[in-house]
Structure 1
Amino acid sequence: MTRSAIIEQISAFMNEKIPFQKDLGIEVTQFNSQQSEVRFHWKESLIGNSPMQILHGGVTATALDTAGGVVIMASVIDKLSDDASLEKVVERISRCGTIDLRVDYVRPGRGQEFIATATIIRSGNKVAVARMEMHNEDGMLIAFGTGTYIVG
Structure 2
Amino acid sequence: MDMLQFGKQALAAQPFSTLVGAVLTRFDTEGTELRVPLRDELKQQHGFVHGGVISYAADNALTFAGGAALGTGVVTSEYKINYVRPALGQELVARAVAIHAGKSQAACRCDIFVVNEGKETLCAIAQGTIARLPAASSAE
Q: Give the alignment's TM-score, normalised by structure 2.
A: 0.87
Question: 5 Å matches for 1:46-85?
Answer: 46-48=42-44, 50=45, 52-77=46-71
CA contact (8 A) 1:34 1:119 kept: yes
Is the partner of 2:87 in helix, strand or coil? coil
Give CA deviations for 1:32-52 in whole Å, capped at 9, x if unaligned: 11110000111111112x2x2
Unaligned runs of 5+ in 2: 134-140
**Partners in 2 of 1:107 and 1:14 — Cα distance?**
30
Give the corresponding residue for 1:115.
Answer: 93
Is the partner of 1:55 in helix, strand or coil? coil
Matched pairs, number:
130
Q: Aligned-residue CA RMSD in angstroms?
A: 1.3
% identity of equivalent residues: 27
CA contact (8 A) 2:25 2:33 kept: yes
4+ long deviations beyond 6 Å: none
Question: Normalized per residue, which structure has more helix?
Answer: 1
**Partners in 1 of 2:8 and 2:126 — Cα distance?**
25
Is the partner of 2:120 in helix, strand or coil? coil
Larger radius of gyration: 1
Give CA deviations for 1:78-111 in whole Å, capped at 9, x if unaligned: xxxxxxxxxxxxxxx22x1111110000000111
Give CA deviations for 1:120-151 in whole Å, capped at 9, x if unaligned: 11101011110001111222100000011112
Q: Does structure 1 residue 103 correspond to structure 2 residue 99?
A: no
Question: Normalized per residue, which structure has more strand?
Answer: 2
